[in-house]
Chain A
Amino acid sequence: MSAVGTFLTRRRGGDRWDWTDIVTFLWLGAGVFIMFGPALWLVLSSFKSPAQLSEFPPTLLPYEARTAVVEGYDKPLPLFVVTDDSGTRTLAEVRRVGTIAQMVDPENPATMERINIANRTPDRAVGFSWGNYLDPFLRFDFLKYTQNSIFVTGVATLITLLTNSMAAFALSKYDFRGRNTVVVLIIATLMIPLSVILVPLYSIVSGVGLINSLWGVILPTVATPTGVFLLRQYMLTIPDELLEAARMDHASEWQIYWRIVLPLTAPALAVLAIFSVVWRWNDFLWPLIVLSRQEVYTLQVGLNAYAGELNVQWHYLLAMTVITMIPVVLVFVFLQRFITAGIAGTGLK
Chain B
Amino acid sequence: MAQVGAWVGAVITAPLRGFARLLDVPLRVWQRLAGQNGMAAFFLLPNMAIFGIFVLFPLGLNIAYSLTSGGALFLADRNFAGLGQYQRLLTCADYTNLLSCQEDQFWTALGNTALFVVVQVTALIVLATATALILNRELRARSFWRAVFFFPVLLSPVVVGLIWRWILDRNGVLNAGLVAVGLDPVNWLLDRNFAFAAAVGVTIWAHLGFFALILLAGLQAIPRDLYEAAEMDGTRPARVFWRITLPLLMPNMLVVIVLALIRAVQVFDEAFVLTGGGPGTATLFLTQYIYEVGFASLLKNPGLAAAASILMGGVLVVLTLLQLALGRRNERKAKLK
Contact = CB atoms under 8 A, between A and B. Distances in A.
Interface stretch (A65-73, A82-90, A114-122, A330-338): A330-338
Nearest to B221: A344
Contacts of A253: 27, 31, 36, 39
B291 A340 contact: no
Contact of A284 (B24, B58, B158, B237): B158
Interface stretch (A32-40, A100-108, A131-139): A32-40
A339 B156 contact: no
A204 B57 contact: yes
Interface string B31-64: 1000011011101101110110111111101101
A313 interface: no
Nearest to B305: A199
Contact of A174 (B40, B176, B237): B40
Nearest to A317: B162
Contacts of A219: 50, 53-54
B156 A324 contact: yes
Contacts of A318: 162, 166
B7 interface: no
A42 B305 contact: no
A100 to B, nearest CB: 29
Most-contacted residue by chain A among B64, B65, B255 (CB, 10 A): B65
B2 to A, nearest CB: 11
A246 interface: no
Interface stretch (B87-95, B104-112, B189-197, B308-316): B308-316
Given A34-B205, A195-B266, A58 B171 contact: yes
B116 interface: no
A185 B56 contact: yes
A12 B162 CA distance: 40
Contacts of A31: 131, 145, 148-149
Interface in B57-83: 57-59, 61-62, 64-65, 73-75
Q: Provide the main secondary structure of the chain A interface.
A: helix
19 contacts: A7-B139, A31-B149, A35-B152, A41-B166, A42-B162, A42-B163, A57-B180, A170-B39, A195-B312, A199-B309, A200-B61, A252-B28, A253-B31, A314-B166, A321-B163, A332-B150, A336-B150, A337-B143, A344-B214
A54 interface: yes
Contacts of A331: 154
Contact of B321 (A191, A257, A324): A191
Contacts of B56: 185, 189
Nearest to A26: B134
B253 interface: no
Contacts of B28: 252, 254
B141 A334 contact: no
Given A300-B158, A337-B143, A198 B294 contact: yes
A207 interface: yes
Contact of A196 (B46, B165, B213, B313): B313
A147 interface: no
B159 interface: yes
B213 A344 contact: yes
Contacts of A272: none
A162 B64 CA distance: 33
B156 A328 contact: yes
Interface residues of A, number: 103
Contacts of A334: 1
A45 interface: yes
B108 to A, nearest CB: 18
A207 B74 contact: yes
B43 A197 contact: no
A20 interface: yes
B20 A20 contact: no
A27 B134 contact: yes
B200 to A, nearest CB: 15
A332 B148 contact: no
Contacts of B294: 198-199, 202
Interface string B163-174: 111110001110
Given A282-B156, A336-B150, A339-B154, A195 B290 contact: yes
B154 A252 contact: no
B259 interface: yes
Contacts of B47: 163-164, 166-167, 223, 228
A111 B148 CA distance: 58
A308 B276 contact: yes
Nearest to B39: A253
Nearest to A32: B148
Given A176-B36, A328-B155, A198 B309 contact: yes
B313 to A, nearest CB: 4
A197 B266 contact: no
A76 interface: no
A206 B305 CA distance: 17
Given A199-B62, A200-B58, A282-B156, A304 B309 contact: no
B51 A169 contact: no
Contacts of B152: 35, 39
Contact of A204 (B46, B48, B61, B237): B61
Contacts of A98: none
Nearest to A253: B39
A57 B176 contact: yes
A60 B89 CA distance: 50
